[in-house]
């Protein structure tokens, strides 16, 4: 197993704890390979794990060895227990499949605002393909969502603004390029640095002007009152859109549309579009998904509704689950037919974004084949059933609460700049 010497890892902290309590001899302390130390499953950076397995040659002389190991670890890392296995056991090689959970706010299923570039593009392409009526049918449960949001949350803010500022704010909210939402001609009109004559701009390039510019740079920046009013209004509207999204409650029909998309992943498929550096011809791009289910009963945390998605597969490639979640979510949001997911298994290269890593966690690895053999070897099966209560408490405290808290603080599931998208 590879240990990152420059950066702390869970495996590194665990191995150090094992050495400190005598579960690994001092002679083998410098190299985990000497103890056959290997993990069952890896996770992307920032991805949580509620249940994982490591295998090693372990020295057990104390009955309270688990308590001693945990005393050496941070509260974010817990060892639940250990089982004696056959000598040839390797958790990495013996693992049959893995179960991951993905948590996301239900407002991720809200369609793009009709005034945004994406909202307009969906209508344009659907109309061109003769699918506009079908798209509208797949969006029927959210057809009036943005109209109601604009009326309840946005209109009261806009009504308080002077006409000239209101027009600038409305246009800047739905710019095609969100990074340039405040850079069109409207902002130039509102800027305190009004348009200068070309001769003045050329003068700035002269050495004498550079000295003047340095002097100007030392003065404290004071924003033009009109520009400040525009910026404040946009911030208020973005906050209002975020509040509206967090108040969204997905109807059962919307969740059912998501499940219809997730069903398209089940079976053996070519997931070359769901990872990096793999082509359609690469045999390793084929992976088997046993099930992919969304819990039809959402949970409400701090006013935001969350959905739990669980995927059970033999193995997963880098970014695969996050891209699967993102693709299914985009299909639902855009009113696209779920068969669009099936098309991603073909040779065409399709760019699929990643859903945030914040919501993903490894729930548990599964060892069905080994457990069946273990019965005849007088060995205990490897599973997490006896630790379920402790694991649920740990998941709530160290994983779920952290996900909910970080999402509330950073709005990580929203488009960073143009919230109505």
Residue 192 has pLDDT above 50, yes or no: no
Count CB atoms within 10 A of the CB of residue 14: 21
pLDDT for residue 48: 86
- Helix (H) / strand (E) containing 329: helix 320-334
In the set 44, 176, 224, 378, the catalytic residue is 44
pTM above 0.75, yes or no: yes
Distances (CA, A) of 202 to 89, 108, 205, 371: 75, 49, 6, 78
pLDDT digits (tens, 9 = 90+) for 6-59: 677 888 999 999 999 999 998 888 889 888 999 888 776 777 888 999 999 999
Domain residue spans of the chain: 10-95, 103-113+125-141+249-366+385-410, 144-190+221-247
- Known catalytic residue: 224? no
Report DSSP state, residue 21: T
351 contacts: CB under 8 Å, gap ≥ 6: none
- As a whole number of angstroms, the distance between CA 31 and CA 224 comes to 62
Q: Tell me the longest C-alpha to C-alpha distance in the chain.
A: 91
- Helix (H) / strand (E) containing 363: strand 360-366
Strand partners, 104: 307
- As a whole number of angstroms, the distance between CA 115 and CA 326 comes to 22
Strand partners, 171: none
Banded pLDDT at 203 (limits 50, 70, 90): very low
Count CB atoms within 10 A of the CB of residue 38: 17
pLDDT for residue 184: 33
Q: Give the CATH number of domain 10-95.
A: 3.30.70.580
Strand partners, 308: 103
354-367: string of b/e by CB count within 10 Å (b at 16+)?
bbbbbbbbbbbbbb
HSE-CB of 124 using CA atoms within 13 angstroms = 8
Banded pLDDT at 134 (limits 50, 70, 90): very high
pLDDT digits (tens, 9 = 90+) for 83-104: 988 888 899 899 999 999 999 9
Q: Tell me the two tokens of residue 188.
A: 């130039």
- As a whole number of angstroms, the distance between CA 364 and CA 387 comes to 12
- As a whole number of angstroms, the distance between CA 345 and CA 128 comes to 25
Fold of 103-113+125-141+249-366+385-410: Alpha-Beta Plaits (3.30.70)
Say whether 103-113+125-141+249-366+385-410 and 10-95 share the same fold: yes
58 in Cβ contact with 276 (< 8 Å): no
33 in Cβ contact with 1 (< 8 Å): yes
Residue 81 has pLDDT above 80, yes or no: yes
pLDDT digits (tens, 9 = 90+) for 234-257: 999 999 999 999 999 999 999 999
Give the pLDDT mean for 203-220.
Answer: 55
């Amino acid at each position: 197993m590879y240990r990152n010497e420059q950066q702390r890892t869970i495996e590194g902290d665990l191995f150090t704890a094992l050495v400190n309590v005598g579960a690994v001899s001092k002679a083998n302390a410098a190299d985990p390979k000497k103890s056959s130390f290997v993990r069952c499953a890896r996770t992307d950076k920032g991805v949580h794990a509620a249940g994982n397995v490591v295998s090693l040659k372990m020295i057990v002389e104390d009955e309270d060895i688990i308590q001693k190991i945990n005393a050496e670890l941070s509260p974010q890392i817990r060892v639940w227990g250990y089982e004696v296995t056959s000598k040839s056991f390797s958790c990495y090689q013996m693992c049959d499949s893995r179960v991951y959970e993905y948590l996301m706010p239900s407002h991720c299923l809200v369609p793009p605002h009709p005034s945004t570039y994406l909202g307009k593009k969906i209508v344009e392409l659907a109309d061109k393909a003769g699918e506009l009526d079908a798209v509208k049918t797949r969006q029927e449960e959210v057809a009036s969502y943005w109209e109601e949001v604009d009326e309840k949350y946005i209109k009261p803010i806009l009504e308080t603004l002077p006409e000239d500022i209101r027009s600038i704010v409305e246009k800047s909210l739905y710019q095609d390029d969100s990074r340039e939402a405040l850079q069109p001609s409207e902002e130039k009109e509102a800027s305190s640095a009004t348009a200068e004559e070309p001769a003045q701009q050329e003068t700035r390039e002269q050495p004498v002007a550079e000295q003047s510019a340095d002097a100007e740079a030392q003065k404290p920046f004071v924003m033009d009152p009109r520009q400040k009013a525009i910026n404040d209004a946009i911030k208020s509207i973005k906050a209002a859109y975020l509040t509206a999204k967090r108040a969204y409650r997905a109807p059962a029909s919307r969740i059912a549309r998501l499940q219809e998309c997730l069903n398209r992943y089940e079976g053996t498929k070519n997931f070359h579009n769901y990872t990096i550096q793999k082509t359609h011809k690469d045999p390793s791009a084929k992976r088997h998904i046993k099930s992919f289910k969304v819990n039809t009963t959402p949970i409400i945390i701090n006013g935001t509704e969350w959905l739990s998605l669980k995927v059970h597969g033999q193995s997963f490639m880098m970014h695969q689950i996050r891209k699967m979640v993102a693709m299914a979510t985009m299909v639902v949001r855009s009113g696209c037919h779920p068969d669009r997911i099936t098309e991603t298994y073909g040779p065409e290269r399709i760019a699929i974004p990643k859903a945030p890593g914040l919501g993903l966690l490894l729930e548990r690895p599964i060892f069905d084949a080994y457990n069946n053999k273990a019965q005849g070897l007088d060995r205990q099966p490897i599973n997490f059933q006896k630790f379920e209560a402790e694991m649920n408490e740990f998941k709530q405290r160290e994983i779920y609460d952290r996900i909910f808290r970080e999402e509330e603080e950073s709005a990580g599931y929203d488009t960073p700049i143009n919230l109505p998208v």
